[in-house]
Structure 1
Amino acid sequence: MTARVQLAPLDEESLEPLLSVAAAEAQPEEVMPPVSAPAGWSQARREAFRVFHRLHFGGLGGPTRTQMYAVVVAGAVVGMIRLCHRDEPGDMETGLWLGRSARGQGIGRAALRELLFEAARHGAHAVHATTTSGNTAALALLRDCGARLRSDDGLVHAEIRLPH
């Protein structure tokens, strides 16, 4: 049985634990946009990670219209999930990553289900996600949460319709 998964809005207090998980259990390209910095988790890349995530501290009503959440299990940050507005009213987008030690335990599924509840609470009628055709774990998670999938040039676009 998976421990209780909580979503905590990402803030200064949870940013360093999130960076620690990222650096210890993920590759930079799995958890942040590409940056010009030395390979691996260099100091420059760590600082870019901080800057990128701080840009989204304003939440859904802020300039980036994005709320990032630390995924927390048993009091420990194990990854991140985000929710952001899209241009179409009622449409939102999500993305998720977990440290290697948290994968394969149902934590991603629980986090996505919590996020879908949050999206509905904020008036969304659909949540979208994009992944690669080779990311079988993400595809299984999206299918399990009711996503309709559409392939396009190596990418898979998912749409999860939310109840009214």
Structure 2
Amino acid sequence: MVGRVQLRQVDEEGLEELLAVAVEDAEPEEVMPPVTGPPGWTLARQEAFRNWHRARRDGLVGPLHESTFAVTYDGKTVGSARLALRGTHGVLETGMWLARSWRGQGVGTAALRLLLQEAAGAGARSVVADTEVHNAAALASLRRNGATLSASQDTGAVHAEFVLPASPSTASP
């Protein structure tokens, strides 16, 4: 499956493909931060989606220290993933969404594996992710990729952490 799943930096053309997938096969609250206004994919919400991704184009070295990728399967855009620098040097946070019709097929697990490779290549020491106890697909993907999980009994939140191997350029002598 991994060979068929790829990550592609979101450029302007890819952004329109990603938005089309989101509008067709996902709800706004699944794929972007909240936007005030009526529910659904309004023109304002679509523009907010574009602006959110455009603001992250400079990647981890940019002012937001965040990079977004289109998740593709055999060249078809099926979702989005991100990596973001969080506080401590060497810690990246990841998040992902897939179009509903692509969930449960192993695409998320393969995409997460690729994100972890991206993070290691960027010199990260660890990658963290947050989800909920009811998100069985995310939990399975996190486990399959070797995350250490800790759940809050009070809130249902689950925190995942991946410790990455040190690259030769970042390893201690």
1:129 partnered with 2:148 = no
**The residue matched to 1:60 in structure 2 has which SS?**
helix
What is the TM-score when the length of structure 2 is the normalising length? 0.91
Larger Rg: 2
AA at the equivalent of 2:159:
H
Equivalent of 1:156 in 155, 158, 162: 158
**The residue matched to 2:151 in structure 1 has which SS?**
strand
- The size of the alignment, in residue pairs, is 164
Residues 2 and 105, structure 1, Cα contact 8 Å, conserved in 2: no
Q: Alpha-carbon deviation of 1:37?
A: 2.1
The separation in 2 between residues aligned to 1:159 and 1:13, in whole angstroms, is: 33
**The residue matched to 1:89 in structure 2 has which SS?**
coil
1:116 partnered with 2:107 = no
Residues 85 and 93, structure 1, Cα contact 8 Å, conserved in 2: yes
Matches within 5 A, 1:29-40: 29-40=29-40
The separation in 2 between residues aligned to 1:2 and 1:128, in whole angstroms, is: 21
**The residue matched to 1:84 in structure 2 has which SS?**
strand
Q: CA RMSD in A?
A: 1.2
Match of 2:85 in 1: 85
The separation in 2 between residues aligned to 1:2 and 1:84, in whole angstroms, is: 22
Residues 2 and 111, structure 2, Cα contact 8 Å, conserved in 1: no
Match of 2:105 in 1: 105
What is the TM-score when the length of structure 1 is the normalising length? 0.96
Residues 72 and 79, structure 1, Cα contact 8 Å, conserved in 2: yes
Residues 131 and 156, structure 1, Cα contact 8 Å, conserved in 2: yes
Structure 2, gaps ≥5 residues long: 167-173
Structure 1, gaps ≥5 residues long: none
Q: Alpha-carbon deviation of 1:115?
A: 0.7
The separation in 2 between residues aligned to 1:8 and 1:117, in whole angstroms, is: 13
The separation in 2 between residues aligned to 1:154 and 1:63, in whole angstroms, is: 32
Q: Alpha-carbon deviation of 1:103?
A: 1.1
AA at the equivalent of 2:21:
V
